Structure 1
């Protein structure tokens, strides 16, 4: 059996001012020799994870040097995009 953990739902307003409860997970992110404590959205169904730009900057990431390829799904699956941050 899995050892489950419970995380409280916190109220959050979206850009339209609508209030909803969302589960946040406290995280410590580490890159090279830097660490940042953040609150991450707990989304079990997510297929994409996003690191906010300012968190990457705090960790010392050099966004200008990052290049990555994104595989698109659905009606855009035939296209491949390489993004420069």
Structure 2
């Protein structure tokens, strides 16, 4: 870890994970002894592997595998 966490011991691991019926992906997890660091599922690369939409007013979210088409974009 770098920045303000560089002085603390930390560990990391890469695991193969599966979300719902989507194909398995490698997910990287890291943690440290700092008690004031929030933990977010797969913070290291989860959001690079999945498209996630949050619907705050409905207290819900939707997860889909990333769009594998290169160069595509939508707004």
TM-score of the superposition, structure 2-length normalised? 0.40
Larger strand share, 1 or 2: 1
- The structure that has the greater radius of gyration is 1
Q: Which has the higher contact order (CA 8 A, sep 6+)?
A: 2
TM-score of the superposition, structure 1-length normalised? 0.37
